[in-house]
Chains A and B, each alone.
Chain A
Amino acid sequence: MRTMTRAVLVGLLATLAAVPPASAETVRIGFITSLSGPAGIIGKHMKDSVELALDHLGRRVGGLDVEVIYGDDQQKPDVGKQVADEMLKKHKVHFVSGIIWSNVMLAVAPVVTRERVFMIGTNAGPHQLAGKDCSEYFFTTSWQNDQTPEAMGKYMTDQGLTDVHIMAPNYAAGKDMLSGFKRYFRGRIVAEVYTQVNQPDYQAEISQIRAANPKAVFVFYPGAMGIQFVKQYAQAGLREQIPLYSVYTIDEVTLPALKEAALGIWETRYWSPDLSNEANTKYVSDFRKKYGYTPAFYGAQSYDGVMLIDAAVRAVKGDLANKAGMIAAMRKADYKSTRGPYKYNLNHFPIENFYLLKTVRTPEGEFAMQIQKTVFENHKDAYAKDCGMQW
């Protein structure tokens, strides 16, 4: 009996020994996004951009071999958290990156940063993480949610607009978007409406808009929600009557499905494919060449995420245990970003420009978003003062 126990123990030890020790020569990045369901297309833009960034880096990050583990959050906070847990425990990743949805980000980021692993957000920017819940281990290559609608609020105020009807889906980012808009909009807001996340039909809300007859409508409807809202808004004949202003609604993800229904709609954004700088021109043209479609901002941010990680690992000469060194390096944002050079605020959110964009038909007959003018230069988010991080 005793020999058997010993044999089993020896066998156990042998199997343990057979598991390769976590090698220091490979950077492991866990990239979480929505790869299935209605947001699957956004995940594709992001994943394709990560792969392009790795191509540009010669499949090495900071001089080390790299392994990217992709995880599908199915647009659900609980699933995102499970995926992150698995990446931390099973794959022992050094960086978790990605994440489209603010509610998913709020579930995932604390789990990751608590383990003193870096969370490099490449889209969602919920205000909690910019303010009181900020962390040394959290960086984002995108924006704080409020910033983009703040630019739209500013622009619409400058245009002298008033009596505006505002709408968003009822979740973390929707609320941030409307509160950001209200922070800079000085005119009157006639109604503030929240709809269900992934609601397909907006006819009831559109009828209410028609009855209230506001001077303008401002919405935040990312992904498929945007396709449905804008289509239905146009079909109801309201687009010609009441101008539509939006954020994260008309982009390179939704435009191919909307085409002329999106013509003339205004957006604000920190980035656009036609933004002219060396890194962006290379990113957009190589992306089109490799994948045959035009990338959206979701992709540009994800590309930047890999580049930021590359800069961090390079700065510590591949010593992944030197976390303080990597934090210091990332704070410099010393890489060629697709938005052009930018600085980090004390809460690790970018201080960046915001532009006014318009959907136009190009001379070739394509539909595209084009930058009209700069609304904000080096715009800071409103929550950094609640963060308390000093450096």
Chain B
Amino acid sequence: MLLVLEQGLNGLQYGVMLFLMAAGLTLVFGIMNLVNLAHGSLYMVGAYLATAFARWTGSFVLGALLALPATLLVGVVVEVIALRTLYERDHLDQVLATFGLILFFNELVAIVWGRAAIYTSLPPSLSGSFVLLPGLRYPTYRALVILVGVAAAVFLYVLVTSTRLGMLIRAGASNRTMVAALGVNIRRLYTLVFGLGAALAGLAGLMAGPIYAVQPGMGEQILIQVFVVIVIGGIGSIRGALVGAILVGMVDTLGRAFLRPLLSTMVSPNAADAAGPALASILIYVLMAAVLFFRPQGLFPARG
């Protein structure tokens, strides 16, 4: 039972990480109608900048605090220089251009920091594990990731539901033309939204740094799951991103942990060994296909 709880926490932790990525991607897609494949690159930039700043300042927390605005800045610069011209183009052009950005960022990072994965570590206070319940030890850093992810979700919720910017974001997601017609500076809104999305991706990246391999191309590994999340959640909807991310995180983690033991109670252990991992790896795509079949707009469509 404790193991199920622990795996549930693991699923939640993976889910909030996906949420931070998905929130930015879904906002940019929903409001700006821009397919941004380079979202994973901002995640990578966040991880690299946090590592570099942490080394420079000698403090993990300071590094993270500096990396966040820095990634936001990178996002704003990318929006102003490269993406502005793409809003009126069709999705294929956007896919090509943002794919180009992926190659650009991967090479840039390889030139600055080298092709090898760079060394990342945690301060001793975060690197151990603590007793969550009698008989259940949980890694401190993973628990921190959950807390930060939940805090970010609450922050976004407040931002979207109770601020003027949030109102504009919601309005932009529902009807962009009307928002522009009402005299809102849609350009500035776009830049802000993109910067916000970049900062969220950066936050996911800087938290991923100490756990994953920080190297060129790390963003593309998580990007596919993030797209699955926003398709499940409904494009343009933050609530959808949250629900989709937790769902994908849970299904993926619990599938990896329990599908094989579950199968071996039904079929022979050898067949379970062969089928278990294969099934676990396609579970989230099966989930996506099911959602698309029953609710093609996703679980929480932004536009009616």
Contacts and interface: CB of A to CB of B under 8 A. Distances in A.
Nearest to A229: B213
B59 interface: no
Interface in A222-253: 224, 227-228, 231-232, 234-237, 253
Contacts of B139: 203, 235-237
Contact of B257 (A40, A208, A253, A260): A208
A198 interface: yes
A231 B121 CA distance: 9
B137 interface: yes
Interface string B1-18: 011001100110110000
Interface stretch (A138-146, A189-197, A272-280, A343-351): A189-197
B141 to A, nearest CB: 6
Given A204-B257, A211-B3, A235-B127, A37 B217 contact: yes
Contacts of B121: 259-261
Contacts of A78: none
A28 B278 CA distance: 40
Contact of B211 (A194, A235, A253, A256): A235
Contacts of B120: 257
Contacts of A36: 106, 217
A86 interface: no
Interface stretch (B22-30, B89-97, B109-117, B159-167): B109-117
> Contact size class for B?
35 or more
Contacts of A44: 115-116
Contact of A203 (B13, B106, B213, B222): B13
Interface in A38-96: 38, 40-41, 44
B157 interface: no
B122 interface: yes
B118 interface: yes
Contacts of A196: 277, 280-281
Given A38-B213, A41-B215, A227 B277 contact: no
Interface string B53-88: 000000000000000000000000000000000000
A319 interface: no
Most buried by A among B7, B117, B254, B257: B117
A293 B210 CA distance: 23
Contacts of B115: 40-41, 44
Contacts of A204: 7, 10-11, 253-254, 256-257
Interface string B255-272: 011001000000000000
B142 interface: yes
Interface in B261-293: 273, 276-278, 280-281
B128 interface: yes
A257 B210 CA distance: 10
A235 B118 contact: no
A224 B215 contact: yes
Contacts of B185: none
Most buried by B among A196, A201, A232, A256: A201
Interface string B140-167: 0110000000000000000000000000
B195 interface: no
A171 to B, nearest CB: 11
Contacts of A257: 116-120, 213-215
Contact of B221 (A38, A195, A236): A38
B198 interface: no
A211 B106 CA distance: 39
Contacts of B3: 207-208, 211
Contact of B117 (A201, A203, A235, A254): A254
Contacts of A40: 110, 115, 215-217
A243 B278 CA distance: 28
B6 A207 contact: yes
Nearest to B253: A204
Given A38-B217, A256-B116, A257-B118, A203 B110 contact: no
A170 to B, nearest CB: 5
Given A207-B10, A208-B257, A195 B118 contact: no
Given A41-B115, A257-B120, A231 B210 contact: yes
Contacts of B14: 201, 203
Nearest to A205: B256
Contacts of A207: 3, 6-7, 10, 257
A170 B278 contact: yes
A200 interface: yes
Given A38-B218, A204-B7, 20 more contacts: A38-B213, A41-B116, A44-B115, A193-B260, A193-B277, A200-B213, A203-B10, A203-B14, A203-B253, A204-B10, A204-B11, A204-B257, A207-B6, A224-B213, A227-B213, A234-B127, A237-B139, A254-B117, A256-B118, A261-B121
Which 10 residue pairs spanning A and B have beta carbons closest together?
Answer: A257-B117, A224-B213, A227-B213, A194-B277, A204-B257, A41-B116, A204-B253, A204-B256, A203-B10, A41-B115
Interface of B: 2-3, 6-7, 10-11, 13-14, 106, 110, 115-122, 127-129, 137, 139, 141-142, 208, 210-218, 220-222, 253-254, 256-257, 260, 273, 276-278, 280-281
8 contacts: A40-B216, A194-B276, A203-B142, A207-B6, A231-B210, A256-B116, A257-B116, A257-B120
